[in-house]
Structure 1
Amino acid sequence: MGKLDTGAWVLVADSEKALLLVNEGDRKAMHLQLLQKDEQDNPPSREQGANRPGRAQDGTGPHRSALDDTDWHQLAKERFAADLADLLYKPAHQGKFDKLVIVAAPAVLGILRSAVHVTVEEKIIAEVPKNLTDQPLDEIEKRVAEALEPLDL
């Protein structure tokens, strides 16, 4: 089984829910405990947009084309992932954790990679491209251990 130091943090996230966990066990027996849980209420775009999609002039002449409406739902998902990156910065800067494992849906993981501050990035020891936010802690522990197995930490 992969090993995770006592006090290491694990972020488990998808585009609407995040669990921030800490390993209260040791390198022999991981025991993740919940530090913080964040969820966003993100209704579908049709419930968030106030106006009909606009129309644009197609150059000269009477022709007009419809414009795509803003996908508010998708924007909220991306903003949530960027907010998670900000959430990690302050405790990383204060030295509250030395190691971080990120378990996130692939799209969220991509946004997090580009949004995390270098202070947080230096503490990331593994990434797991899976959506495990609705899984029990023992399943999350198993997946984290599997991800750490090939690493020599």
Structure 2
Amino acid sequence: MQIPNNGYVLVADGRKMLFFRNEGDEAYPNLQVVTATEQKNPKTADQGTDEPGTTFSSSGTMGYRTGGRSAYSDTDFHTLEETRFAEDAAAMLKERALANAFESLLIVAPPSTLGDLRKHYHKEVERRLVGEIAKDLTNHPVDQIERIISEA
């Protein structure tokens, strides 16, 4: 994947976001951190305290109840927070794009995060987007991120 000099790279997952500027060239990227953000997102069991709700089925004939109980599915707070984090990342990209802070952008994220980001791309972000890589590289050293980008 080619990212030009002064192009930007967002490496994100549902909890961590690294925003880089390429101070190298297309063949040999030299990524410098512009911002790094990480949110704490404990597993759902540590976030949710309520039991799932229940409902009663009241279908039947002649006033007799023939239905049973049904539980609503548990709320996955961990996934909700990851989705919110992707929305925040998309909002940051929109703000920077509208301020003309970058002309080209490469996004690297796991498929689920990439899907959440795509739902919230602003047209100015889309216009500047030079590519996407569906990989989780947030915990890789910068030199490995540079290598993976240049080989993609």
What TM-score does the superposition give when structure 2 sets the normalisation length?
0.90
Percent of residue pairs identical = 40
How large is the RMSD of aligned CA atoms in angstroms?
1.4
SS at match of 1:53: coil
Pick from 91, 112, 121: which aligns with 1:116?
121
Q: Residue by residue, what CA displacement relative to the aligned partner does 1:68-98 show, whole Å, maximum 9, x if unpaired?
A: 1211111111111111100111111111100
Q: Residue by residue, what CA displacement relative to the aligned partner does 1:105-124 show, whole Å, maximum 9, x if unpaired?
A: 11101111111101101111
- Residue number in structure 2 paired with 1:151: none
Q: Residues of 1 paired with 2:147 and 2:28: CA distance? A: 11
**Which structure 1 residue ranges, 5 or more long, are not aligned?**
148-153
Q: How many corresponding residue pairs?
A: 146
What TM-score does the superposition give when structure 1 sets the normalisation length?
0.89
- Residue number in structure 1 paired with 2:109: 104
- Residue number in structure 2 paired with 1:150: none
SS at match of 2:145: helix
Equivalent position amino acid for 2:140 in 1: Q
8 A Cα contact 2:30 2:146, kept in partner: yes
Pick from 89, 99, 117: which aligns with 2:94?
89
Q: Residues of 2 paired with 1:80 and 1:28: CA distance? A: 31
Q: Residues of 2 paired with 1:9 and 1:90: CA distance? A: 14
- Residue number in structure 2 paired with 1:56: 55
For the pair shown, the structure with the greater C-alpha radius of gyration is 2
